[in-house]
Amino acid sequence: MRFHTRKWVKPEDLNPNGTLFGGRLLQLIDEEVAIYAIIQLEIPKTVTKYMSEIDFVSSARQGDIIEIGIDVVKYGRTSITLTCSVRNKLTRKTIIEIDKIVMVSLDEDGNPKEHGKTEIEYVKDRLSDK
């Protein structure tokens, strides 16, 4: 699993229990996965189609640092399927794991669009080919 982003848990991220609000965490995951998919597929109109069951294993408190990790599971014709794990950087505990997130590329009319990708590409490799 490649951990791409670290976030600091701030007071506005907390629920009434004083722990990281689940909705806020899902927002962070959705944004991070969307950015990753858009960069991989090179199609700006890439949206969340599906997210598998979500199970909160542990949490984080104000001041903790969380890390969001993403791996590619497979490439479809118009989609990319990812897996995601979030962990507390300070305690090393897993907060949440999502087995399957499907992102779909769209054309100008909002219809699924073929992206032509079959494997992970890194920006450094794209730049060296040009």
Query: Which pLDDT value is given to residue 122?
Result: 74
Q: Is 46 helix (H, G, I), strand (E, B) or coil?
A: strand
pLDDT digits (tens, 9 = 90+) for 81-119: 999 999 999 999 999 999 999 999 999 999 999 999 998
d(CA 55, CA 71): 18
| Local structure of residue 112 (DSSP, 8 states) | B
Q: Is 41 helix (H, G, I), strand (E, B) or coil?
A: helix
Q: Yes or no: say if 56 and 124 are a contact pair by the CB < 8 Å rule.
A: no
Q: Yes or no: say if 66 and 58 are a contact pair by the CB < 8 Å rule.
A: no
Query: Which pLDDT value is given to residue 127?
Result: 60
